[in-house]
A and B are shown apart, each in its own frame.
Chain A
Amino acid sequence: MADRLGFWELSVQVVIPQLLVAVRWTLALTICAAVLGTALGLVIALMRISRSRSLRALATGYVTLLRGTPLMLQLLFIYYGLPQIDPRLTFDPFPAAVIGMGLNSGAYIAEIIRAAIQSIDKGQMEAARSLGLSYGQAMRFVILPQTYRRLIPPMVNELVALSKDTAQAMVIGLEELLRTGSHLASRFARPGPAYLWTAVFYLGITVVLSAVATHLEQKLEAKE
């Protein structure tokens, strides 16, 4: 039946409605993984510049491990591997994907935040400490706020990459954009519309992300 539909009918009646469902999973995964990854990234970044040798070693090990192995492997390990180690570590595809992508982006975001912190003039920390602020207060009120504007460009890159990397969660059965798009493509004799519209959806996400970032950057710039 659908085989005989034209491009527009196929698109409007079948492909776009299904992709509109799938894009919710992609967006939810992007947002959850970004939030988890940013929180984790901040902690790992602070560990990497801390004075404690063991905290530094732990954080370096974390970053090395997660950046040194493929994301897809990490997702497969969490979804299929963890339950074999302990059945209590069994996750549905969505939470497994959030955990995997959050842990993975945490490693990249940690490096972004660390670089931003280290780009702040040493005199800032010194001035803050000379006023009696503790290390933590100096970080919170003096150093980190100055990194925000510098963080926007690399963080947007990271978010754009993250939103596209959500496609890899298809291997653990998450019905996100690419998995849905591929199913649609193989269901009909004509795979074109399915892949085309899938691409449009991804493009929509990344373009909106970049536009929001530019706006944010201009707003912060106006303040200084």
Chain B
Amino acid sequence: MAEPIIRLEGVRKRFGKLEVLRGIDLQVWPGEVVCIIGPSGSGKSTLLRCINYLEKVTAGRVYVDGQLVGKREVGGRLVDMSERELDRMRAQIGMVFQRFNLFPHLTALENVTLAPIQVKKMPRAEAEARGMELLRKVGLADKAHEYPARLSGGQQQRVAIARALAMEPKAMLFDEPTSALDPELVGEVLAVMKDLAREGMTMVVVTHEMGFAREVADRVIFMDGGMILEEGPPAAVMSAPRHPRTREFLSKVL
């Protein structure tokens, strides 16, 4: 375990006058599951988007698997990465969104195979075989040829997870993956995520599911006002929070 999969050093992000991330240091080790909790607007989504470089950081550095994201060293100087290099880095990290964001004009299987075919240039037959395997893994092999509109929210989110896994990412980011779901559909998505964690996938999960965090997380991070205020094993952070803001937040959500 020499290198963390994800390493953030002093990451800051501002939108105009608003500083949303105010110096984030974070390391996520291979196979680790990190849950991020915190009030609305504390910068959790922005943090995930910065890790995947969907947002460009204002200051600080993001490393994925030891490689600096967004910048490259040329003759001792840091220059911006080309768009192509950034695309390649993004492909190494899977992302699952609150609102699924499946491609509505493609079937479940086509959603899963699009990136392997277009980005990895995988032959279609191979991509489909692997796509079917992934859909089976999330329990949706029989829905492979359905369009997203015909699937329940829970099924859509499971397809979205399969879609991200199809790129064989080094880590997976989840942004409130169950927040848009009816309560009775939350369980099936969390079950898939637990399987993933058990298989050793490195995961960063923004969630309000305290039960999931307690059970699956190796580490829980509490964010507020663009900073990490507290982190530690779930039992410590959630049962015996040290920071008053953490206590206040937990008393509201539990």
Chain B interface residue count, CB cutoff 8 Å, equals 29
Q: How far is the CA of A132 from the CA of B99 in the complex (A)?
A: 19
Interface residue B41 (Cβ < 8 Å from any Cβ of A):
no
Name B83's contact: one of A121, A135, A224 (CB within 8 Å).
A135
Among B52, B103, B164, find the residue whose CB has the most chain A CB atoms closer than 10 A: B103
Chain A interface residue count, CB cutoff 8 Å, equals 20
* CB-based contact A130/B103 at 8 Å: no
Given contacts A123-B97, A127-B95, A141-B118, contact A132 B104 (CB under 8 A): no
Given contacts A126-B54, A224-B147, A224-B149, contact A131 B114 (CB under 8 A): yes
Interface residue A146 (Cβ < 8 Å from any Cβ of B):
yes
Q: How far is the CA of A131 from the CA of B167 in the complex (A)?
A: 7
Stretch at the interface among B29-37, B86-94, B184-192, B193-201: B86-94
Among B54, B84, B149, find the residue whose CB has the most chain A CB atoms closer than 10 A: B54
Docked complex: B96-111 residues within 8 A CB-CB of A:
97, 99, 101-105
Interface residue A83 (Cβ < 8 Å from any Cβ of B):
no
Name B54's contact: one of A130, A141, A146 (CB within 8 Å).
A130
Given contacts A131-B115, A132-B90, contact A142 B103 (CB under 8 A): yes
Interface residue B158 (Cβ < 8 Å from any Cβ of A):
no
Q: How far is the CA of A137 from the CA of B95 in the complex (A)?
A: 18
Q: Which residues from B are CB-within-8-Å of A123? A: 97, 99, 101
Q: Which residues from A are CB-within-8-Å of B105? A: 145-146, 224
Label chain B's interface by main secondary structure: mixed
Given contacts A141-B114, A224-B104, A224-B147, contact A134 B99 (CB under 8 A): no
* CB-based contact A129/B90 at 8 Å: yes
Q: How far is the CA of A134 from the CA of B119 in the complex (A)?
A: 8
Q: Which residues from B are CB-within-8-Å of A121? A: 101
- For A109-142 the 0/1 string (1 means CB < 8 A from B) is 0000000000001011011111111110100011
Among A129, A131, A145, find the residue whose CB has the most chain B CB atoms closer than 10 A: A131
* CB-based contact B95/A132 at 8 Å: no
Q: Which residues from A are CB-within-8-Å of B167? A: 131-132
* CB-based contact A131/B119 at 8 Å: yes
* CB-based contact B101/A124 at 8 Å: yes
**Residue of A at shortest CB range from B98?**
A123
Q: How far is the CA of A186 from the CA of B207 in the complex (A)?
A: 78
Q: Which residues from A are CB-within-8-Å of B163? A: 131
Q: Which residues from A are CB-within-8-Å of B99? A: 123
**Residue of B at shortest CB range from A137?**
B118
* CB-based contact B84/A134 at 8 Å: yes
Q: How far is the CA of A135 from the CA of B90 in the complex (A)?
A: 12
Q: Which residues from A are CB-within-8-Å of B95? A: 127, 130
B163 to chain A, nearest CB (A): 7
Docked complex: A56-90 residues within 8 A CB-CB of B:
none
* CB-based contact A133/B87 at 8 Å: yes
* CB-based contact B83/A134 at 8 Å: yes
* CB-based contact B88/A132 at 8 Å: yes
19 A–B contacts, CB within 8 A, in A order: A123-B99, A124-B103, A127-B95, A127-B101, A127-B103, A130-B90, A130-B94, A130-B164, A131-B91, A131-B94, A131-B164, A131-B167, A132-B90, A133-B114, A133-B119, A142-B114, A145-B105, A146-B103, A146-B105
Known contacts A123-B99, A131-B163, A133-B114; 5 further A-B pairs (Cβ under 8 A)? A126-B54, A126-B101, A130-B94, A131-B167, A224-B149
